[in-house]
Amino acid sequence: MTIKEALDRIRRICKDKETSYTCYVLDKNRILEGMITVKTILMAKDEEMIDDLMDTQVIYTTTNEDKENVAKLLSKYDLFALPVVDNENRMVGIVTIDDAVDVIEDEATEDFEKMAAMLPSDRPYLESKVTTLFKNRIVWLIVLMISGIIVGEILGYYEAKIAAIPLLVTFVPMLNDTGGNCGNQSSTMVIRGLTTGDITTKDWLKVWWKEFRVSLLVSIVLASFNFIRIAFFTKAPEGVNVYMIAISVSGALFLTVILAKSVGGLLPILAKKLKLDPAVMAAPLITTLVDAAAIVIYFTFVSHLLF
């Protein structure tokens, strides 16, 4: 086909279609052979042949590809449109980048919801019914409440020590909060990286090694801060060695931070590897795991140093 024929055909066909300004060249069986932009056509001379000008290296997708992956492909190659072929390689349609924008936004919203322990919603917030919001939220709240109860039971296991030195329990919120925050930071970075494609499951060792070094630095700062605060500014009850409390708290904090960042970095990758959703798995599970571990570590120190 010559350029002149092509232009005539474009004028005829495109009248009522959503245009992408990329023309796909098909053979008789609708198999994708190449692509050529309207720009190339406009730049060419009337008698040149499409065959000579078209690009045969076409990036395309298939009808059974996940829409998130299609959006990623469009975004990665800065494409305005992507042809879609069926199982027999016949072209059946195109996806344009404005569709991808919506998919990318919806996907981010979904991840936000999942990471805040909610089922993803179909509609914008203000249009959602109260009962729908309730249903989306209550499931994970119950699961997490039960895990909070379990953490409480673990704390209850050390009741006798708390009764003897109630001061000990005042360090638990800080230990739990810090552990949770550390784990959350790591898991958020990794989940987001897995979504945008910056991180793949093959990077697990790199991720862990990075998180381990970051956690060492964080641990040193936070543990020192607490050691100094407790050793020099906290009044221990009579007969209790304040330095032993300081060592217990800062030692537990040190180990908790390292554990939290390793778990936060690796659990989302493990979830992805097991074909589970990293955003759903990570946040809630990590907090419970780290909370429970922090309490056990802390009271292990306490048992050895103070009783």
Nearest to a copy of itself of 207, 252 (CB atom): 207
Q: How many residues bind a copy of itself (CB under 8 A)?
A: 101
Mark the segment that binds a copy of itself (CB under 8 A) among 25-33, 62-70, 131-139, 239-247.
Answer: 131-139
> Is 245 among the residues that bind a copy of itself (CB under 8 A)?
no
- How far is CA 141 from each of CA 144, 146, 147, 204, 280, rounded to the nearest angstrom? 5, 9, 10, 30, 13
* Kind plus residue range of the DSSP H or E element containing 53: helix 50-53
Select from 52, 78, 88, 238 the one that contacts a copy of itself (CB under 8 A). Answer: 78
Interaction between residue 133 and a copy of itself (CB under 8 A): yes
State how beta strands 61-62 and 32-37 pair. Answer: unpaired
- Sign of the dihedral defined by the CA atoms of residues 244, 247, 250, 255, in that order: negative
Binding map of a copy of itself across residues 198-217, x = CB under 8 A, - = no contact: xx---x--xx--x--xx--x
Q: Which of 112, 232, 243, 307 binds a copy of itself (CB under 8 A)?
A: 112
Q: Is 92 in the site for a copy of itself (CB under 8 A)?
A: no
Which of 85, 94, 182, 263 is close enough to bind a copy of itself by CB under 8 A? 182
User: Three-state SS across 152-172?
Assistant: HHHHHCCHHHHHHCHHHHHHH
- Minimum Å gap between C-beta 177 and a copy of itself is 4
Q: Which one, 117 or 242, has the nearer CB to a copy of itself?
A: 117
Dist. CA 68–CA 62, nearest whole Å = 13
**DSSP secondary structure letter of residue 237:** P
